[in-house]
Amino acid sequence: MAFYPVHKELQNISQSMPQGNFGLWYNKFIPLSDDAFKPSDDKGSNGKGDENRPVDYYFGQYSKLRLNAAETAAILKQKHEDMDDFCANFPPQKYEEIAICATLDSPLITGIGESHPHEVSMVFDHNMGIPYIPASGVKGIVRFAHTISLIPEAMNKAEVIDNVRFDDEADWTSVPHMFGTQKNRGNVIFLDAYPEDIPALHMDIMNPHYSPYYSEGKPPADHHNPTPIKFLTVAKGTKFIFRAVAKKEQNLPQKIRVAFAEALTKEGVGAKIALGYGRFVIDEDGQKVLLKKRKQRHEEKKRRLSPWLDYIELINQVGDWGQFKQIVLDNEKLVEYRKEMDVTEAVRIKALEIRNKWRKSWGASRDEQIATWLQPAGVEWPCIVAGIENPVKEKSADYEKIMQLIDWGAYKSAGIDLSKLPLDALQLLKQKMEEWGCYSKKAKEDKKTAFKKVKDLLRQHQK
């Protein structure tokens, strides 16, 4: 009979747990044998010949929870997105993002030394209950691979001491600059490595041949029977994503990439690497794929938060008055967004473009329709009468002054203080600047700066 060292209510939950955090179950709710308080299965089996029954039970429980892990999969997806955004927030002028996608070419043993009632443990993420590689472990294997690669150079420099070692924290090794020491902080940030999807586990086996020698102190002998010990590993074929951020100094990003490649493909990750465990195959195009996914995700998020962006694309494609009337003036859906500055900007610029193109056939009714559409956003549209732009109502003296400006050069020579202009003058100046191409991506910096300032002042008036 199995013994559960937890409250009765928790016992009932843990024994019929259809979904949830396997790591929590594995570390807190596993059954023990009621006679020896050793790991067991749900029937309390752990006696002679049954030492591996607990591992079979753990494997079955993980497999069951993995089939009902939609919520965990969503959390894992969000985890990757959060880590991705964290790396992207570093200034690209000073830091380089490193993302390496690698697939296990052999099983991975992670956390074998973790405290657990069973002899061979495993490390699981606290919140998701899935295997992962902590950032400290990632940093350790990369540092090791980098240090190993320095041996030939150390021998050439005669830095080897007693033919067996060298000071791996000397300045020439770049170790202090990359990973830090007790006195210096490193310039590379390593993140936890997570599988891309919820991984499958694999049951492996080790086969000690001299069990009485290890457990009872008896001399090793050939007549001792092997004692198979099962343990859990992360299955071959699981894809992990390794992330780091390195300062763009002393060629650090390239050195880290090389060390990562050595660590993952040659040295190995986790335990029993000498036996071939923990080897990866690197996907060379992995980072490009991740960056493409990030761009798509950010665009989707932007469109969710700003649904009018699709309409702006349609507005920008308008070529004549008929299309403008259909896509803008008669569009009942677009009316919902006409107080958005981005929409107003697009409509005004496109209206100016069409009016300038068809100026000879332009009628006052068109100006009235545009003015009516823009009015709720607090934007006035000057009408054209006999080829002259006239205000609908009396304008300020500054408005008349702006009206006299014929080009960008005249504006610069006028020495106008933008902060003192009234609303009507600012609105007219914004129109003028649009006609002068100040909003264009190809415009000179002084034009862009002045246009931005005018827009900022208009926003302040609207508030």
pLDDT tens figures, 197-221:
999 999 888 776 666 666 666 777 7
Choose the weakest-confidence range: 16-20, 92-96, 258-262, 353-357: 16-20
Residue with tokens 């089939």: 67
Confidence check: pLDDT of 258 > 50 = yes
Residue 224: the pLDDT is: 67
Confidence check: pLDDT of 338 > 80 = yes
Confidence check: pLDDT of 242 > 90 = yes
Mean pLDDT, range 385-408, rounded to an integer: 70
Instruction: Answer with the residue of higher pLDDT: 29 or 233.
Output: 233
Residue 169: the pLDDT is: 85
Residue 230: the pLDDT is: 86
pLDDT tier, 279 (very low <50, low <70, confident <90, very high otherwise): very high
Confidence check: pLDDT of 56 > 70 = yes
Confidence check: pLDDT of 387 > 60 = no
Q: How far apart are CA 44 and CA 359, in angstroms?
A: 91
Q: How far apart are CA 159 and CA 149, in angstroms?
A: 14
Residue 394: the pLDDT is: 67
In 139-236, beta strands by DSSP E: 188-190, 194-195, 201-206, 229-234
Residue with tokens 């965990």: 72
Task: Say what the pTM is.
Answer: 0.69
Give me the residue spans of the domains in the chain.
1-68, 75-209+224-296, 307-462
Residue 134: the pLDDT is: 94
Mean pLDDT, range 174-189, rounded to an integer: 91
Tokens of 356: 């300038």
In 391-455, beta strands by DSSP E: none
High-pLDDT (> 70) share of the chain, %: 92
Residue 48: the pLDDT is: 52
Give the sign of the dihedral formed by CA 324, CA 328, CA 330, CA 333: positive
Mean pLDDT, range 140-162, rounded to an integer: 86
Contact 245, 92 (CB under 8 A): no
- Which residues are CB-contacts of 151 (< 8 A; sequence separation ≥ 6)? 166
Confidence check: pLDDT of 393 > 60 = no
Residue 45: the pLDDT is: 64
Confidence check: pLDDT of 157 > 90 = no
Contact 449, 418 (CB under 8 A): no
Residue 382: the pLDDT is: 79
Confidence check: pLDDT of 240 > 80 = yes
Residue 49: the pLDDT is: 56
Confidence check: pLDDT of 386 > 60 = no
